[in-house]
Amino acid sequence: MKILVCVKQVPDMDSRFRPDAAGVWFDEADLDWRMNEYDEYAIEQALQLKEQLGEAPEVTVLSIGPDRVLEVIRKALAMGCDRGVHILDPEISMKDPWQVAGIIAACAGGEGFDLVFTGMQSQDRGSAQVGVIAAELMGIPCVTTLVGFSFDNGVITARRELEGGARGVVRLRSPALFTCQSGLNFPRYPTLPNILKSRKKEIRTIPVEEFPTSAPLSATTGFYPPARKGSGIVLEGELSCLVDRLMEILRGKCAAVRL
């Protein structure tokens, strides 16, 4: 069995976000980077299946982006994946989900992967479209928002999260693609022995030019922070005075609303 896990490097959500010079994405100068949270669930599920089936399955991790995405590939290898594929694309942030999915499908389509795991969505764009489109382009079924997974004698039972907290159950056979939701599992931490082993694992780098993409179906036209709201007021002093002051402020705001 051959398993593919697609991962993405995203900015740490505690970073300071500012628009770039073109005003269509964020300035990367002051950002810290990490693996997309949902992709960690995808990796863990692939590794759990590998452990269930023994050493036979091979788990490949794929990521698209500039040189810095090697960091998340190495983390995936340290978690237990067998080899990495880095599609070198410094302009990945300018591609829409259709183009990104097209690159994945072009790279993975001829490799004979039985199962493909991706995160439900990325934490930066949050489109939740890449995995679905990639499955369509590869001609394989797709199960989204995966929160439960079992494999028994070739039959996959997938439990997925639906609207309003409901759960649905899908049964299918490979090949198939799954997008993974939080709550599916608890991603493991790379251990020191596995970190040392990962340094010897293969990472193949392929220029994105080897996978021609079609024209984008959508484009980001603007990127800007939300408008600043009015500053808060800090009240200090005796409690009885603070209550009177607070009531005075609230009456003033209510009067302004009526006007």
When divided into structural domains, the chain yields a total of 1
Residue 42 domain-assigned (yes or no): yes
Task: Look at residue 110 in the predicted model and tell me its pLDDT.
Answer: 81
* Residue 160: partners with Cβ closer than 8 Å, 6 or more residues away: 143, 144, 145, 146, 147, 148, 167, 168, 169, 170, 181
Residue 252 domain-assigned (yes or no): no
Residue 90 domain-assigned (yes or no): yes
Residue 242 domain-assigned (yes or no): no
Residue 18 domain-assigned (yes or no): yes
Question: pTM for the complete prediction?
Answer: 0.82
Share of the chain above pLDDT 90, in %: 41
Residue 180 domain-assigned (yes or no): yes
Tens digit of pLDDT for each residue in 158-188?
Answer: 988 887 777 888 898 989 999 999 888 999 9
The domain that contains 122 carries what CATH number?
3.40.50.620
Residue 232 domain-assigned (yes or no): no
- The answer to whether 63 touches 9, Cβ cutoff 8 Å, is yes
Domain that holds residue 18: 2-210
Task: Look at residue 253 in the predicted model and tell me its pLDDT.
Answer: 78
Residue 219 domain-assigned (yes or no): no
